[in-house]
Structure 1
Amino acid sequence: MTQFPSSTARGGRPTKLTSKRADLIVKAARAGLTVRLTAHFSGISERTYMTWMARGRNAYEDREAGESADPADAPHIRLYERVTEARSHLALKALLQLEKKAEEGDTRAIIWKLDRLYRDDYGQQGTGLRDPWDADEAEDHAVRPDMVALAERLQTTLFAVQYPPEEE
Structure 2
Amino acid sequence: MKLLDDELRERLVEAIGYGTTIEDAAVAAGISPRTYYRWMRRGETAAQAVVNGEEPEPADEPFWQFWQSAMRAHARGGVINAALLRKIAEGGYAVKTRTRRYRDPATGQVVEETETELAPPNLRAVIFYLERRHPQTWGRNASTFWGLDGGTREQYEAEQAGMGDAGLHELAQRVHESLAYLADNPEVESAPEAGR
Please confirm whether the aligned pair reaches a TM-score higher than 0.5, indicating the same fold.
yes
1:39 matched residue in structure 2? 26
- Partners of 1:110 and 1:38 lie apart in 2 by 25
Aligned position for 1:107: 123
**Following the alignment from structure 1 to structure 2, what is the Cα–Cα distance between the partners of residues 29 and 60?**
20
Structure 2 unaligned regions, length at least 5: 92-120, 145-191
RMSD over aligned CA atoms reads 2.7
Does the C-alpha gap of structure 1 residues 127 and 88 become closer, same or farther in structure 2, counting only changes over 3 Å? same
Distance 1:49 1:124 in 2: 31
Deviations 1:37-94 (A, max 9, x none): 2222222222211111111112112212222211111100111111111111111111
CA distance in 2, matches of 1:16, 1:114: 37
1:110–1:35 Cα change, 3 Å: closer
Which residue in 2 is equivalent to 1:67?
54
Higher relative contact order (CA 8 A, sep 6+): 1
Mapped to 2, the partners of 1:114 and 1:18 lie a distance apart of 36
Q: Does 1:124 align with 2:140?
A: yes
Q: Secondary structure at the match of 1:57?
A: helix
Higher-Rg member (1/2): 2
8 A contact 1:57–1:77 mirrored in 2 = yes
How far is the alpha carbon of 1:106 from its aligned partner? 0.8
Is the Cα contact below 8 Å between 1:55 and 1:73 reproduced in 2? yes
Number of matched residues?
Answer: 117
Identity over aligned pairs, percent: 29
SS in 2 for 1:78: helix
Q: Which TM-score applies when normalising by structure 1?
A: 0.59
Structure with the higher strand share, 1 or 2: 2
CA distance in 2, matches of 1:44, 1:123: 32
Q: Distance in 1 between matches of 2:86 and 2:28?
A: 31
Q: Under a length normalisation based on structure 2, what TM-score does the superposition of the two structures give?
A: 0.51
Match of 1:52 in 2: 39
**In the alignment, does 2:82 pair up with 1:95?**
yes
